[in-house]
Amino acid sequence: MKREELIRSVEYWLTKFQIKLFNKVNDYIKKNNLNRDKFAKQLGVSKGYVSQILNGNADHRMSKFIELSLAIGLVPTISFESIDDFIQRDLQSDRSALLMDIKKSKQIVRDAGYLLSEKPVNEYIYHDTPSEDWSNIDTTSDNNFFSMAS
């Protein structure tokens, strides 16, 4: 399954909606020490309706959904975005998450007392002394590209 195929599907958004609604109603029921029966009575709806929500299968009319939101003390806020913009943002957020992970990993390695390069990897690949030519490395001068963790 491709990420884009998933995002462009009805099932992805419907399921997101159903599970978010389940979590909100479930939280409300727990917080107020209710059970399905009591909650149904409080709302003036059938037990079956509550069960559908708590099973993550809610697929009701908009008016019912708004009624339910208000009954649990919430207002539904809805926003719309172009699919292409969303997919682009989704892709970027994944990349930035990866970068964040790399930075965190570097910090952990540094904290553990390992030597770590501050220079981007591609600079090493294209401009640095070939690793086999050890004789050219100046070990006496300060090397700005390396730092020792405290």
Q: Which residues bind another protein (CB under 8 A)?
A: 1-3, 5-6, 9-12, 14-16, 19, 22-23, 26, 54-57, 90, 93-94
Decide if 69 contacts 43 (C-beta within 8 A): no
Query: 12 or 114: whose CB is closer to another protein?
Result: 12
Gap between the Cα atoms of 97 and 119, Å rounded: 20
Of 64, 53, 66, 62, nearest in space to 18 by CA: 53
Residue for token pair 């990420």: 3
CB of 7 to another protein, least distance (A): 9
Query: 23 or 88: whose CB is closer to another protein?
Result: 23
Query: 92 or 143: whose CB is closer to another protein?
Result: 92
CB of 132 to another protein, least distance (A): 32
Give the start-end residues of each E strand in 1-150: 116-117, 146-147
Identify the burial level of 2 via C-beta atoms within 10 angstroms of its C-beta, where 0-12 means exposed, 13-18 middle and 19 or more buried. exposed
CB of 105 to another protein, least distance (A): 13
CB of 56 to another protein, least distance (A): 4
